[in-house]
Amino acid sequence: MTLGRRLLSLALLYGLLLLGLASLNGELVALALPLAVYLLVALLYGPVQPQLHAARSLSGDRVRGSHPVTVRLEVSNEGADLDEVLVEDLLPPGLEVVGGTPAALASLPSGGTLELSYQVRADRGGFHFGSVRVTTGEPLGLSRRQALISAPADLLVLPRARRLERVAIRPLRTRGYAGPVPARQGGSGTDFFGVREYQAGDPRRWINWRVSARHPRSLFTNEFEQERIADVGLVLDARSRSDVAAGAESLFEYAVQATASLAESFLDDGNRVG
């Protein structure tokens, strides 16, 4: 029973008894008896303090934006029988429920388990699931008890990334591992880089016979540009004054998606991105 309902019932009971005794009217006293029984039942048969345990699992803790994630919640009763229990999962702000419901009302016997399953999604961000709110009562609705049960879990939603064609970059320096980025150095590769004198061990198919014909005493071989990986730095302007919004659309959100798409493309090529 809520505090307001309890105070109202007590005030009504006191008023009927006082009025009945003052007027010596037995009918008014009789009217107060059902209310007295109502309050007595609420006092004697109110719900006990619940002894519940909650466990949560996610279908994925690291997903792309707008990808649905299934949340499963199990609430176990480790105490006495509960005639009525309302379980409400307290969602972190920013998550949208797209399937199922994060609440359930049922009876839960001792040793029983109540299961919840629903789907959520978000555009991006980190989300922490904390507590589950449990409200216990009895069928007549005379009294209620509330408790918060910890069921922690974390969800990371990465920005959506579009598939891009390979982005050509020409950094001044590259790393010493093979990759797709031209290294501005001669060596093994696919693109012509220059011509140098023949050295023992050079493949014969690389000999440049046209240049060698102009130098009878020397052989010259083709040199190709090495291809390596690179360190790529992406800078995102997150200043609020740089954002332009029109209704639900935001320039910053598009910039986040563009940055994520570039990062995905460079990482797929084996580069390091920061």
In this predicted structure, what is the pLDDT of residue 181?
52
In this predicted structure, what is the pLDDT of residue 71?
97
The answer to whether residue 200 scores a pLDDT higher than 90 is no
In this predicted structure, what is the pLDDT of residue 192?
55
Residue with the bigger pLDDT between 69 and 223: it is: 69
Mind listing the pLDDT tens digit for each residue in 42-68?
A: 655 555 677 889 999 999 999 988 899
The answer to whether residue 270 scores a pLDDT higher than 90 is no
In this predicted structure, what is the pLDDT of residue 190?
54
Confidence bin at 37 (pLDDT 50/70/90): low
In this predicted structure, what is the pLDDT of residue 208?
73
Is 2.60.40.10 the CATH classification of the domain at 52-158?
yes
Pairwise CA distance, residues 158 & 155, whole Å: 10
Pairwise CA distance, residues 44 & 8, whole Å: 19
In this predicted structure, what is the pLDDT of residue 174?
53
Sheet holding 52-58, edge to edge: 52-58, 69-77, 113-121, 96-100
Instruction: Choose among 146, 147, 145, 141: nearest CA to 41.
Output: 141
Pairwise CA distance, residues 90 & 88, whole Å: 6
Pairwise CA distance, residues 71 & 102, whole Å: 9
The answer to whether residue 191 scores a pLDDT higher than 60 is no
Among the residue ranges 62-71, 85-94, 141-150, the one predicted with the least confidence is 141-150
Every domain of the chain and the residues it spans: 3-44, 52-158, 160-170+231-274, 178-228
Residue with the bigger pLDDT between 127 and 81: it is: 127
In this predicted structure, what is the pLDDT of residue 260?
86
Over residues 100-113, mean pLDDT: 91
In this predicted structure, what is the pLDDT of residue 244?
80
Residue 101 φ/ψ, nearest 5 degrees: -145, 140
Question: Among the ranges 150-164, 166-180, 236-250, which has the highest mean pLDDT value?
Answer: 150-164
In this predicted structure, what is the pLDDT of residue 3?
47
Confidence bin at 177 (pLDDT 50/70/90): very low
Pairwise CA distance, residues 74 & 92, whole Å: 18
Q: What percent of the chain has pLDDT over 70?
A: 63
